[in-house]
């Protein structure tokens, strides 16, 4: 009776501050990480990679052109007289370094995910599985030979060979290979949630028969590895929009540079091709272009550090805009499967009579709730006085809201929602006992679920199913409220029970007696009001709503259908983990914005460094407010600063800007002051210092 709730509580993610999370604690060797990033940065120089970033591809092409002029400095005649081979060579090296550093930033961001993927891949193991044939015989086969719908037999100590669904048995399973949670999780047949098992986890007690639900290399761990390695990463809408904007700015800069030779010829101040390329690179937004991909990858990596798997950056980005969070109750707000706490007889019946009918109505109910009713009834002395082989089970449905058994002789034992049982006996000319309402209200007001039990037209009593709210969830919902996110709880429970649970959990709104269709309609309603909706759930009946929501968050304890419909999987099964995801989404968006501001603000200093020396005949030296030593030094100093800005900002791109929960106007003012003004001032100081160093060394 106490095993299931204990296991659920431990796996819920609350109060487990010392958990050893596989993803979060994956050991990453910094030296190996940097060496791999250095290698991958060279690999990304290949044209098929370089062309994916239009801005940096322009720099890549410029590097090739300056290389040609380094080899043949007099290729275009007199215009090159003031640009010796050494200058062209230095320019080529700086441009190459700019491209390589942008590649390095992206490779370094990817490195964390790849390291975590390797940690997970190490958890995968090729095992020998006990395949169960239709005739009941068992044969040992390699786990890689198993296919969807195959059946395997597992005993204590066995590694689960692939993702599957428990179809028989009850056992404790160690899932620490996936979640890092050292407390075993109870798995049993008949449960929509607790019956799902993951490949490479270990059975540590009892026995299970599992139906395989995934083919080799298509399991949950394989999906996680692919996501962490970035194999399925695509640009988010905001990232695509910013990439297009940067490409347009670069095109405008290119058109400006192309027209300069004619203008320079007119003022009798010819400009060399290499100087024009240097000017182009200084004009285009290379800083943000070089870091844009790294920002997105790092955001996905930070999500994984919270023991969350996001199927796309789009989902993480959408989290930053979430206004409404819709939650299922059971397994999300409460610990999971409700258990029979008490049998309350009514209508003058004894407890033993009530237990007998409850047992008869539950004999074919293979859910954890049904099994708990059987255990409680048998502990009270109830016994079978009928032949189960002559009885027929009646499954629960959303329409009837009851289940039970058709006994021999035409008798009908039923258990279900009080209203449904009332209607059932009314159609058989029965009447509900007067004390039924009082029992119904008492259980509901305690936050429990009342199930009425009847035989034919007579109600025998009420089963008290107890729900346990996850510890700390009220405080977490309060934090969501402070972040401007409203919470809506959907449950199939009656109004009174739903109201009690909603009040205890601290949700903003609740909808009782909700059907799967109603969950989807609530999402439609919120989206029609212009809100971004997140839905959390874990059951198969949550799948349509998870698919419809802007962000679908499924618990790791959820069913395969729910996981396929969602775009975020929480390995800790903590419904309020959305707080962390929202923070990461907001941080991702803000980081991208402030680095764009800084990159564009940098251009002011670059213009003052280069323009006075490009049109020397126009006597623009009054604009040389930095007092740079020469034209060549100004060009090299500007491009060196341009290149070094990328590695200087890599830590910020990977870590993200520290979140400050301020109003939109306050955030704008703060970022303009720090990154806008800072972006204007920084190049003036840095370019002058580099110019002084170049003048001292006598490079040019």
Q: Which residues are catalytic?
A: 328
Structure tokens at 454: 């009847």
Helices (H) and strands (E) in the chain, counts: 24, 21
Q: Residue 180 in contact with residue 24, Cβ under 8 Å?
A: yes
Q: Are 194 and 186 in contact (CB under 8 A)?
A: yes
The torsion angles phi and psi of 386, rounded to 5 degrees, stand at -140, 165
Asked if 553 contacts 577 with a C-beta cutoff of 8 angstroms, the reply is yes
CA distance 283 to 250: 8
Task: Give the pairing type, strands 533-537 and 324-328.
Answer: parallel
* HSE, side-chain direction, 13 A CA sphere, residue 422: 10
CA 588 to mean position of chain CA atoms: 13
* Phi then psi dihedrals of residue 657, to 5 deg: -70, 140
* DSSP class per residue in 81-137: TTS-HHHHHHHHHHHHHHHHHHHHHHHHHHHHHHHHHHHHHHH----EEEEEPTTS-
Per-state percent for the chain, helix, strand, coil, to nearest 5? 55, 15, 30
Bridge partner list, 465: 340, 449
CB atoms within 10 A of CB 88: 22
**End-to-end C-alpha distance for the chain, whole angstroms:** 83
DSSP bridge partners of 414: 404, 454
- Is 515 in contact with 522 (CB distance < 8 Å)? no
Rounded Cα–Cα distance for residues 326 and 339 (Å): 24
What whole-number distance in Å separates Cα of residue 628 and Cα of residue 689? 10
Q: What angle do CA 586, 98, 238 make, to 5 degrees?
A: 25
In sequence order, what are the beta bridge partners of 228? none
Residues 554 and 569: beta-carbon distance below 8 Å: yes
Smallest CA-to-CA distance from 296 within 237, 242, 239 is with: 239
Edge-first strand listing for the sheet containing 449-455: 339-345, 458-466, 449-455, 412-417, 402-406, 392-394
Exposed e or buried b for every residue in 391-423, given b needs 16+ CB within 10 A? beebebeeebbbbbbbbeeeebbbbbbbebbbe
Length of the chain: 700
Q: What is the 3-state secondary structure (H, E, C) of 305-347?
A: HCCEEECCHHHHHHHCCCCEEEEECCCCCECCCCEEEEEEECC
């Amino acid at each position: 009776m106490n095993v299931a709730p204990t296991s659920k509580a431990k796996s819920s993610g609350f109060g487990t501050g010392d958990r050893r999370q596989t993803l979060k604690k994956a050991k990453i060797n910094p030296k190996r990480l940097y060496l791999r990033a250095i290698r991958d940065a060279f690999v990304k120089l290949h044209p098929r990679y370089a062309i994916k970033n239009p801005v940096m591809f322009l720099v890549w092409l410029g590097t090739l052109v300056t290389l040609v002029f380094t080899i043949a400095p007099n290729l275009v005649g007199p215009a090159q007289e003031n640009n010796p081979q050494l200058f062209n060579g230095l320019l080529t090296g700086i441009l190459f370094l700019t491209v390589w550093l942008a590649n390095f930033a992206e490779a370094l961001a990817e490195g964390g995910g790849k390291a975590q993927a390797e940690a997970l891949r190490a958890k995968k193991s090729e095992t020998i599985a006990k395949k169960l044939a239709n005739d009941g015989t068992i044969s040992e086969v390699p786990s890689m030979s198993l296919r969807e719908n195959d059946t395997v037999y597992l005993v204590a100590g066995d590694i689960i060979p692939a993702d599957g669904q428990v179809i028989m048995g009850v056992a404790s399973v160690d899932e620490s290979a996936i979640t890092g949670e050292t407390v075993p999780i109870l798995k049993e047949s008949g449960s929509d949630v607790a019956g799902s098992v993951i490949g490479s986890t270990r059975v540590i007690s009892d026995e299970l028969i599992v139906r395989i639900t995934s083919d080799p290399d298509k399991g949950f761990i394989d999906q996680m590895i692919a996501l962490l390695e970035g194999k399925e990463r695509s640009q988010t809408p905001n990232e695509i929009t910013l990439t297009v904007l940067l490409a347009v700015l670069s095109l405008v800069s290119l058109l400006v540079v192309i027209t300069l030779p004619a203008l320079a010829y007119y003022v009798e101040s010819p400009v060399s091709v290499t100087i024009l390329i240097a000017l182009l690179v200084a004009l285009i937004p290379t800083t943000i272009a070089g870091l844009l991909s790294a920002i997105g990858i790092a955001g996905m990596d930070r999500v994984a550090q919270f023991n969350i798997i996001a199927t796309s950056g789009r989902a993480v980005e959408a989290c930053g805009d979430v206004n409404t969070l819709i939650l299922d109750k059971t397994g999300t707000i409460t610990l999971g499967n409700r258990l029979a706490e008490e049998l309350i007889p009514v209508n003058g019946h004894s407890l033993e009579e009530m237990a007998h009918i409850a047992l008869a109505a539950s004999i074919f109910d293979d859910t954890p709730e049904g099994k708990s009713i059987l255990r409680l009834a048998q502990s009270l002395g109830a016994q079978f006085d009928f032949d189960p082989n002559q009885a027929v089970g009646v499954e629960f449905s959303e329409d009837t809201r009851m289940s039970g058994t058709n006994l021999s002789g035409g008798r009908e034992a039923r258990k279900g929602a009080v209203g449904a049982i009332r209607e059932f006996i009314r159609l058989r000319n029965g009447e509900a006992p007067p004390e039924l309402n009082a029992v119904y209200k008492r259980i509901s007001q305690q936050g429990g679920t009342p199930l009425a039990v009847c035989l034919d037209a007579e109600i025998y009593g009420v089963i008290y199913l107890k729900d346990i709210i996850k510890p700390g969830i009220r405080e977490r919902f309060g934090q969501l409220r402070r972040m401007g996110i409203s919470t809506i709880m959907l449950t199939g429970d009656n109004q009174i029970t739903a109201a009690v649970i909603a009040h205890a959990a601290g949700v903003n709104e609740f909808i009782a007696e909700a059907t799967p269709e109603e969950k989807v309609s609530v999402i439609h309603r919120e989206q029609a009001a212009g809100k971004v909706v997140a839905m959390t759930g874990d059951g198969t009946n949550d799948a349509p709503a998870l698919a419809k929501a802007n962000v679908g968050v499924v618990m790791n304890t959820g069913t395969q259908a729910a996981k396929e419909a969602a775009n975020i999987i929480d390995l800790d099964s903590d419904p309020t983990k959305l707080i962390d995801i929202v923070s990461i989404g907001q941080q991702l968006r803000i980081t991208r914005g402030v680095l764009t501001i800084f990159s564009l603000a940098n251009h002011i200093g670059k213009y003052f460094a280069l323009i006075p020396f490009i049109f020397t005949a126009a006597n623009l030296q009054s604009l040389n407010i930095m007092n740079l030593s020469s034209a060549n030094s100004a060009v090299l100093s500007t491009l060196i600063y341009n290149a070094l800005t990328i590695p200087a900002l890599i830590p910020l791109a990977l870590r993200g800007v520290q979140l400050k929960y301020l109003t939109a106007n306050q955030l704008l003012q703060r970022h303009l002051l720090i990154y806008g003004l800072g972006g204007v001032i920084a190049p003036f100081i840095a370019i002058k210092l580099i110019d002084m160093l170049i003048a001292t060394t006598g490079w040019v």
